[in-house]
Structure 1
């Protein structure tokens, strides 16, 4: 089964066109001022028009209030909202109902205890994204260029589906393929020559590594899978 590939933290047309040319199924924009990948809503809206219907657009926000989400939905019209903060299951459900958009919930993994939290989001999130816990001293909840011990995920219940994130790049993506429950990969810092600066050559290298491992990305806008 072809995986969904989400290229996240996209900020410029050349990088987006490169990712789309290689079959990226999702393009992610970041709304978090402390991130080097942050985009103002007007810039997001312009790039969203560039993507058009060629891929699904996700906007990532960290503990956003309704006012921010109102602006994002009205101006960008994303296909998905991604919550990447400390949102509770109740907040995830509230966002889904208020904005009538599927919601992807990121869960930071660094221990068996973190893996145990995943199940609490299964009834409410349309998809789960399992990311590495931020390293000490980092102000960013994601996009830190670090991975976690993927063997921790062996403790997940059978049938738990998720998108894998955290330090993925051309050098290690082969090890992520074929893990039980993985239905997609989320890559950001592994496509960058500097924080927030996407490198077209690294984008192509990442997709080359996927192809070398015998894993072609899902073509175009894919049928979403509920992570439960």
Structure 2
């Protein structure tokens, strides 16, 4: 899959309006809101709606769910005005197809926790029922938010057949080499931009986004 000229940027784990507005002003493309009770960044739907209502145009809201009842997913998506649903559990292709039918106003992203065990066959069944993937770090007994990166060379053998976001421990120290090596459709940062779970560091947000855009400019200048 050809690399897009513009890398999409998603920042996940939003819980505070000032953090969301800082990211929007800095040029983020999407913000993630986690609706999973076991996450330290879990947010109540009404609190998320309050933030989402204040976002400027063309900043998309992504709801993150883990093995949630799809009727509740649909209820929260409608209530909050979500543009994307990110499924971060063990949701089956059948679940994704049914949710896509139930919630036709949202696009679906399926997260995969990548490790040495990962193979292309893991993704193939989902290609007809989601619009993209998110590749995160595998760690036993966790569903994400590890703050750890994974071996990016594994992606070569996965051969994702859909646009994918690279996640897993991304921060200002590794985003430029990540973009050079992986060339994803988009990137997703969370704990690497925080002072504490759910509390984003505005300076890190701004620097992260500048680094992504700077890497794009450098790459494009070399292709001319």
Whole-angstrom CA distance in 1 between matches of 2:50 and 2:101: 26
Q: Which stretch has the larger CA shift, 194-203 or 168-177?
A: 194-203
Distance change in 2, residues 1:161/1:211 (3 Å): closer
The answer to whether structure 1 residue 16 and structure 2 residue 20 are counterparts is: yes
Alignment match of 1:58 (pick from 59, 62, 70): 62
Unaligned 5+ segments in structure 1 are 217-228
Q: Which stretch has the larger CA shift, 64-73 or 143-152?
A: 64-73
Residues 2-51 of structure 1: per-residue CA shift (max 9 Å, x gap) = 11100111111111111111111111100011111100011011111011
Unaligned 5+ segments in structure 2 are 219-224
Distance change in 2, residues 1:174/1:71 (3 Å): same
Counterpart for residue 138 of structure 2: 133
Whole-angstrom CA distance in 2 between matches of 1:114 and 1:192: 31
Alignment match of 2:124 (pick from 119, 124, 136): 119
- TM-score, with structure 2 as normaliser: 0.88
1:64-213 aligned at under 5 Å gives the runs: 64-100=68-104, 101-134=106-139, 136=140, 140-157=142-159, 160-179=162-181, 182-213=184-215
Contact 2:166 2:188 in 1 (8 A): yes
Report deviation, 1:104: 0.6
- TM-score, with structure 1 as normaliser: 0.86
Residues 59-113 of structure 1: per-residue CA shift (max 9 Å, x gap) = 0010110232132123102011111100011111111111112111101111243
Contact 2:120 2:160 in 1 (8 A): no
Whole-angstrom CA distance in 2 between matches of 1:173 and 1:15: 20
Distance change in 2, residues 1:181/1:202 (3 Å): closer
Whole-angstrom CA distance in 2 between matches of 1:68 and 1:142: 21
Report deviation, 1:211: 3.6
